[in-house]
Amino acid sequence: MMGGWGNMMGGWGYSGYGSGGYGMMGMAGIGMNLIFGIGIILLGIYLFRRNASHVATGKHSAMDILRERYARGEIDSEEFQGRKQDLESK
């Protein structure tokens, strides 16, 4: 009678599921969590680099606008040089 308690309790003990009752299913879960964590880290790195590149191009676009205003005659050479130095110093 006592021999049947292991199977009657829903897999209690060693009933063919491996050590701890998980076996390969536990390893797959750990692997999936690891892959998920690495994916989140890579996504964060991608978003950070993408944002950093947009900040860098923002400076260039300000310089382009300044050049366009100078080319249209909206500002003179002295103002252009002063604003150019301000943009390059940032």
pTM for the model: 0.38
Which positions of the chain have pLDDT values less than 50?
Answer: 1, 4, 6, 18
Q: What is the pLDDT of residues 45-70, one digit of tens each?
A: 998 888 776 655 555 578 888 999 99
pLDDT at 8: 52
Cα distance between residue 49 and residue 54, in whole Å: 9
* The pLDDT value given to residue 10: 53
Helix/strand/coil percent split, the chain, to 5:
80, 0, 20
Q: Look at residue 78 in the predicted model and tell me its pLDDT.
A: 95
So where are the chain's domains? 24-89
